[in-house]
Amino acid sequence: MFLLSKAAFDGGFNSYIFVFYRQAFATVALAPLAFFLEWKHAPPLSLPTFCKIFVLSLGGITLSLNLNGVGLRYTSANLGAASSNAAPVITFFVALLFGMETLKARTRTGMAKLAGIVICLGGVAALAFYKGPHFKFFCLFKHLHGQSQYLSSQQRHHASTSSHRSWVKGCFLMLFSNIAFGSWLVIQVIVMKSYPSKLMFTTLQCFQSSIQSLVVAVVAERDLEEWKLGWNMRLFAVAYCGVVVTGVTYYLQAWVFEKKDPVFLVVPTPLTFIFTMLCSAVLCDSIALGRYI
């Protein structure tokens, strides 16, 4: 997700328009399934529940994705994936506030949780503020490196993150995005108790966030040329992030909430960083030990 989004942004795609198309694609993909599979069995949707889902979508999806998109424009795909390591910590603290988690610092379990918090936050801070070298692994697709206008070269990365100030700004935007995301996960569990139809619930969130994102995108960009997709990386990135990352993943999240708590859901998040680094290596993208501005 981070690599495709960054590639689209480096190609000149507006991040606000990207978020709108992403949510619109997710809505179109989920709506038929929700209609045929859950429409007849879904509980009545009351106005208070509808408003709760609207606010939940506004903060957890629209705000989070737009902050993440702008932050990604200032930084890199690897940093975007690395910053998501803060999500388990943030989700844990929010769950702690809502009484879904406990922390007993003097027990072995509590000490393990504290150690995990320190490691996650320390790793994110190091990648965000430490100035390290950049390097490349063995490239399996060298012929793509010189031909694709979307795969970032070292020069393009320096152009997109031209200063240390921009990099730090991007880091803070991603931090706020993760705060919104972690809060969304926890509050989503509470809202789903009043509307337990998982597929309908996910579709409603995607639909409402697509309307919200459209308003944001129209305010941010009114040039119609910037809204065109075409058969290029823009369309591929939007379709993948919309259908797979948003549509399928959000529905699976709702299913997990029936079995486990939100913290359990975000525990494997650090694997995202590893997968992103491996994909960066295969696609000849530069990998930095921290920032390299």
Residue 287 scores a pLDDT above 80: no
Residue 147 scores a pLDDT above 80: no
Spatial distance between the Cα atoms of 173 and 15, rounded to a whole number of angstroms: 13
Residue 193 scores a pLDDT above 80: yes
Q: Which residues contact 43 (CB under 8 A, 6 or more apart)?
A: 195, 196, 197
pLDDT digits (tens, 9 = 90+) for 9-22: 878 888 899 999 99
Q: Strand 287-288 to strand 134-135: parallel, antiparallel, or no bridges (unpaired)?
A: antiparallel
pLDDT at 130: 62
Residue 151 scores a pLDDT above 50: no
Spans of all domains in the chain: 2-288
> How confident is the model over 232-239, as a mean pLDDT?
87
Torsion of CA 189, 256, 177, 11, to 10 degrees: -140
Percent of the chain with pLDDT over 90: 20
pLDDT band (50, 70, 90) for residue 135: low
DSSP 135-177: E----S-HHHHHH-SSSPPHHHHHHHT-SHHHHHHHHHHHHHH
pLDDT at 128: 63
pLDDT digits (tens, 9 = 90+) for 204-216: 999 999 999 999 9
Spatial distance between the Cα atoms of 181 and 27, rounded to a whole number of angstroms: 19
Which range has the top average pLDDT, 64-68, 77-81, 143-147, 159-163?
64-68
> How confident is the model over 267-292, as a mean pLDDT?
63
Residue 154 scores a pLDDT above 60: no
pLDDT at 127: 66
Calculate the alpha carbon distances from 61 to 23, 57, 70, 154, 185 in Å: 9, 5, 14, 31, 10
Q: Which residue has the higher pLDDT, 281 or 102?
A: 102
Spatial distance between the Cα atoms of 135 and 154, rounded to a whole number of angstroms: 10
pLDDT at 22: 93
Residue 56 scores a pLDDT above 80: yes
Residue 184 scores a pLDDT above 80: yes
Distance of CA 173 to the CA centre of its chain: 12
pTM for the structure as a whole: 0.80
Calculate the alpha carbon distances from 228 to 211, 225, 235 in Å: 18, 6, 9
Question: pLDDT averaged over the chain?
Answer: 78
pLDDT at 285: 59
Supply the Cα-derived Rg of the chain in whole angstroms: 19
Q: Which residues contact 261 (CB under 8 A, 6 or more apart)?
A: 95, 100, 101, 189
Tokens at 179, concatenated: 């705060």
From 104-108, 137-141, 181-185, the region with the lowest mean pLDDT:
137-141
Residue 55 scores a pLDDT above 90: yes
